[in-house]
Amino acid sequence: MTIIAAADGSALGNPGPMGWAWYIDDDSWAAGGAPHGTNNIGELTAVLELLRATAHTDEDLLIHCDSRYVIDSITKWMPGWKKKGWKKADGKPVMNLEIIQALDAAMKGRRVRFEWVKGHAGHPLNEAADVRANGAAQAYQNGTPVKSGPGFAGAAALVSTRAEPAPALPVHPTLFDDIEEDPFTEIRIVVSPDEHTRLTARAHEAGVSPEEFLRALI
Q: What is the rounded distance in angstroms from the CA atom of residue 23 to the CA atom of residue 71?
A: 17
The distance in angstroms from the start CA to the end CA of the chain is: 41
91, 120, 122, 143: which one is catalytic? 120
16, 33, 42, 43: which one is catalytic? 43
My answer on whether omega of the bond before 210 falls inside 30° of 0, hence cis, is: no
19, 64, 66, 177: which one is catalytic? 66
19, 33, 130, 149: which one is catalytic? 130
Catalytic residue list contains 9: yes
* List of residues 6+ apart from 188 with CB closer than 8 A: none
- 132 burial via Cβ count (<10 Å: 0-12, 13-18, 19+): buried
Strand 2-11 with 60-65, pairing: parallel
Catalytic residue list contains 43: yes
Q: For residues 33 and 9, is the Cβ–Cβ distance under 8 A?
A: no
Catalytic residue list contains 66: yes
Catalytic residue list contains 181: no
Alpha helices in 12-165 (DSSP H): 39-53, 68-72, 78-83, 97-107, 124-142, 155-160
Q: For residues 156 and 195, is the Cβ–Cβ distance under 8 A?
A: no
Residues annotated as catalytic (active site), given as ranges: 8-9, 43, 66, 120, 130
